[in-house]
Structure 1
């Protein structure tokens, strides 16, 4: 059975139930129950009209829940619509906006998006985030209560939706759900629902990053930095698609931060070797990105690019303007001091960076860097 088909139908089926009078929370719960039933029934008895089947099953689930709820007995007289053609109205975009409502925390918005738009079960989302299923169920329930009174047809903020999808993408993979692939699927879906250059920019960025996925870790699971990655393992088809999407977005002359980030990723992807990377252009794109966001993290990454384009001392000068408490500050400083020949400082900073790292793979990589330089100092 095509699980991806089930997930892709979820938003439109929820929309049908809402238009029939179900609350958004009740509709989402009913559709999730229908999806579970589909997983059980469809392998032996696949429906001729998958969406129609889901709509019918979801509406029955909704009616069953309504009739069982003593506080809402007035719904008992709701008549089940006669089987027939399902309306073609697609409410996917409204669901994206609702799940990324500004009243939600980022973690809640991500969980609700995966549940309502992605069609994932609570168990799958919990496994992906390495938390107990009960904890994730509470998080999703609180999120649904928070947005329960939000009008379904209110316009939403595209930028907030994109940030939520980018958060999903950055989680990568854990459990039995590949969140990076799921984020790409959802962003593709969003791109068909809304014509916006930043949606295209985010999709291009995801594709260009995902193209390097196979080369990011060694067979033993250790982290492989970009400069050391085997570029023959990069997915050239994804790179080509990402570049094409990016070029179309940039041609509209409405530059946004995701387009700028994608342009930087494209320059890395275009370089046959690390030594041939066009760092001068990358610095220029970081200048654009700084103008758009004025983010300290962007300024940190710009300092790295300056160090590659103009030498480690120029990079250290750019780094000196930033707050030393920034994540990865010590790691960047260590790399630049090493390139400048100051191995004692580099070893110390690699050790500090490893101590501060929250990601286990990154921590192990930084410990190895510190050990490598300390070995050089002893020889």
Structure 2
């Protein structure tokens, strides 16, 4: 029985209000409208940004909402005007669009999409989700903590049909974000020294990117020593725990590296760590990339840190243009040139979403993959 053109009733994890557990609800997902596709979500990862929205930024006007933005699925149906996709295609939804038409998409200097900002805001305000007669907000234009979601075709990447969706879902956020920050944004060079601050999935992906770029020394910086063995798997050569020292970590790294590292990547979303990462770079040419997300605080440093020749950069989604970069990253994984399985520490059902949140909140996982359709 075809579902195309009909409202689908399915399960989703709804965040009714900030700082409260998600609730598994029956929701209605309307058919895709012009230039939209409806996706059956096969697997979705739990990312720290979901926790940030729920527990830190807590903008009440954004709730009720369905979170989730790191996923993979299958096209169930397409709306009018969609020619790039057809039912049955394996896809990864993107929280950064690629319209291929705006000045940003046409520039090799950025992965931002001007049209995407407008359309995503539109989708947020005109979501295809309803529950108990109420409109449910769509997060990041994706909302993947649901068995089905509707996404603008600009924000979908078609991937290799042989790709295992319960693995490559992580390429939809964490892996690209960290790996690309090292390779695309920092442009790490062979033989260089790097420091990665924070060893969650994004930080470990950044370590992997530094290794792929040929860095000779990769310092993994975290206050949890249990994470070093995992970091070694992805290419870290040294582990530094700031709690082991009675001086600033930037000074510690400077002493270990004859003045500082060539590249540093902040993968925590903490403004104090961002400053430490910048100040850990060698003066003259050091490059520090802000990868961790926060909108709550200002970031600061002494002007001399920059005047001395350091560069401070930001990176969103690792600088990847989604429609182009995500399929290539999936191919790299299938060709055994990219680690993905090693990030997955837990597999759960969508019903266990609050357990997955607790694991991440307490640093007990790298990535938990949720299955919305358990057998």
| Same fold, judged at TM 0.5 (above) | no
- Short-chain TM bin: under 0.3
Q: Which is greater in Rg?
A: 1
Greater fraction of residues in helix: 1
Q: Provide the TM-score with structure 2 as the length reference.
A: 0.25
Identify which of structures 1 and 2 has the higher relative contact order when contacts are C-alpha pairs closer than 8 Å and 6+ apart. Answer: 2
Greater fraction of residues in strand: 2
